[in-house]
Structure 1
Amino acid sequence: MHVVALFGPTAVGKTAVAIALAQLLRERGEDPIAISVDALQVYRGLETLTGAATREEQALLEHRLLSFVDPRETFSAGEFAEHAHSEIDAALAAERRPIAVGGTGLYLQAALTDLELRPPPDPAIRPRIQARLDENGPEQLHAELTARAPATAKAIDPHDRTRVGRALELLEMGEQPAPTGDGSRLWTARLRHPTLLCGLTMERAALYERIDTRVDEMVAAGAAHQVTQADAAGASRTARSALGFEELRAGDLESMKRRTRNYAKRQLSWLRRLPGVHEIDLTSQSASDAADQIAHILAARPGPAA
């Protein structure tokens, strides 16, 4: 049985497509289950900010790996891989169709492959870099990264504390950070199970409009309150790296929208460079139409219960 991977930029409509696909699969006798492969949706109490599936959506399709980590805790891709492998393996053993849903490249890799991850954090180096991030902000350290590893820096958002800090940490450890962060190792690392890779895309103007609307809806639904609570509780640096966390703390919605649009642009560029991916354009078709397209591709795959 194939794993189905649905990935794409923020706000493109991944959850809606997953739910529509699950309905089609049930009609042919399957029992699908969604596995979230998002770096920030693991955090409890930040569901609105991170765009996690709502209770109503989870009633239509069971989701795993949502809201199970305390926001005060750091959480790595290596730790996530253990959980994701366990969930996917258990689903397949129970003859349930796993649908991996998310937009986070590294976590998608961690879920689908036995990816060889970089060395663990260095307890002598990381605290020093985190202190510099706290004192000077990620933009200043990103400028330093640009001087030391320009190709790596170009692929990292200057506001992304986690990736800026990790890249500098690797340099301090004598390691060379990935030059592009394009996720290409996913396609050279062996997939753990037969997998149908579906990249959900949308024309940029339409996607940006959805992003702006989504940010407004997040705020109306209480995302700023979630940020305030997590901040007061001592949210970890990884939880604070969620898109919009710092912007909502400052009440700067326009910066949040702009940063989210820039992130989505990079996600689209990453997705469109990948080989072996079925690109599903959602610009002018519904989630149901996209799900029907994916179901037909899946049915044409060789093997029992493709």
Structure 2
Amino acid sequence: MSPERAGVVAIFGPTGVGKTAVAVELARHVPGPVAISADALQVYAGLGALTGAPSAEEQAILEHRLIGHVPVSEEYSVGAFGPRAHAEIDGVLAAGGTPIVVGGTGLYLRAALTKLALRPPVPPQVRERIEAVMVEEGPEALHARLPEASRAAVAPADRKRIARLLELAEIGEPPPSGNQLWTDHTRHPTALLVLIREREELDARIDTRMQSIFDAARAEVEAAEAAGASRTVRSALGYAEVRSGDLEGLKRRTRRLARRQLTWARKLAGARVIDLSGKEAAEGARAIADALGERAT
């Protein structure tokens, strides 16, 4: 595999690390580049600031697909996303181009790259019951009910993941393991790149970005509320903080997410780690292009 014939390029990393900027720069090094977003929330229309979606300027340089195509009032799942992502990737490859899959959300990245074996659906009554208990008792109380292994892997304030683990337990499904994410073979030859930065630098980047997008994100949240935001949208990272005007809370929660993502990303088997500490996006893109060239030798 080389920059001239790169196959699928997958870029993963914590929020704020600069994935989109690197993907845009990488477009200069590979043939027929098209970015495929693998983010559970960037699929929603009208939430570009809140979700860190590519700007209009970035999309003018590098075409991005699977962004902003779902109304905020609708629920959306990885089961719906996977086939769409497969079709986009296959189409780009068939045209001789290079799909650059950018995530985002680990499960969505896996769904885009592999034949994801989905869990059986959770009955609505189970989901509603757990959601009601979550509201009544709070995430910390439910976190304490999880098995020890699950408690260690999930933050006590992570409402969405705690609820998901309880739903799986309710229907007799075992919790997923971190390594399980990449036991499936990728559908196409794929170069998996993980972007990282030193913690202090990443925290500073997150704080700067949250400060810069807060007003736009607040307008987006207000519009989403007026449109009847779905359960998934309302549980989005930062939605509650933006709605209540809690900028510092938004920064803290985003930094915590980034640390969990960074820990998870470092453990991805078969991934090439690109350290962007103190570097610009163009340097990261050149490092990826060099890595693609090495895979061909």
Please classify the TM superposition score into its range, dividing by the shorter chain length.
over 0.9
Which amino acid in 1 is paired with 2:181? L
Q: CA deviation at 1:163?
A: 1.8
Pick one of 149, 152, 157 that aligns with 1:151.
149
Q: 1:228 to 1:157 in 2, by over 3 A?
A: farther
> How many residues matched?
292
1:197 alignment partner in structure 2: 192
Q: Deviations over 1:96-115 (max 9, x none)?
A: 10000113111111110112
Residue 22 of structure 2 is matched in structure 1 by: 17
Does 2:252 align with 1:258?
yes
Provide the residue aligned with 2:210 in structure 1. 215
Looking at structure 1, the residues matched to 148 and 182 of structure 2 have their Cα atoms a distance apart, in angstroms, of 24
The 1-side partners of 2:58 and 2:33 are apart by: 14
8 Å Cα contact 1:103/1:267 also seen in 2: no
CA drift at 1:158:
3.2
Write out aligned runs for 1:206-245 (5 A).
206-220=201-215, 222-245=216-239
**Partner Cα separation in structure 2 for residue 168 and residue 48 of structure 1:** 31
Query: Does the residue aligned with 2:172 lie in a helix, a strand or coil?
Result: coil
Q: Which residue of 1 aligns with 2:123?
A: 122
CA distance in 1, matches of 2:74, 2:138: 21
**Superposition pairs for residues 25-64 of structure 1, below 5 Å?**
25=30, 30-64=31-65
SS of the counterpart of 1:190?
A: coil
Q: Is the CA contact 1:115–1:186 (under 8 Å) kept in the aligned structure 2?
A: no
Distance 1:219 1:59 in 2: 24
Post-superposition shift, 1:69?
A: 1.0
Matched, 1:282 2:276: yes
Gaps of 5+ in 2: none
Residue of structure 1 in register with 2:12 after alignment? 7
C-alpha distance in 2 between matches for 1:129 and 1:187: 29
Tell me the alpha carbon deviations over residues 239-289 of structure 1, each in whole angstroms, 9 at most, x when there is no partner: 122211011112111111111111111111111112211100111222111
1:157/1:40 CA distance change after superposition, 3 Å:
farther
In structure 1, stretches of 5+ residues that fail to align are none
- Give the TM-score normalised by the residue count of structure 1: 0.91
Q: Secondary structure in 1 aligned to 2:133?
A: helix
The alpha-carbon deviation at position 290 of structure 1 amounts to 1.1
Query: Residues 162 and 238 of structure 1 are in contact (CA less than 8 Å); yes or no, is this contact kept in structure 2?
Result: no
- CA distance in 1 between partners of 2:227 and 2:64 (Å): 26
**Cα RMSD after superposing both structures:** 1.6
What is the SS of the residue equivalent to 2:115?
coil
Q: For residue 280 of structure 1, what is the amino acid of its counterpart?
A: I
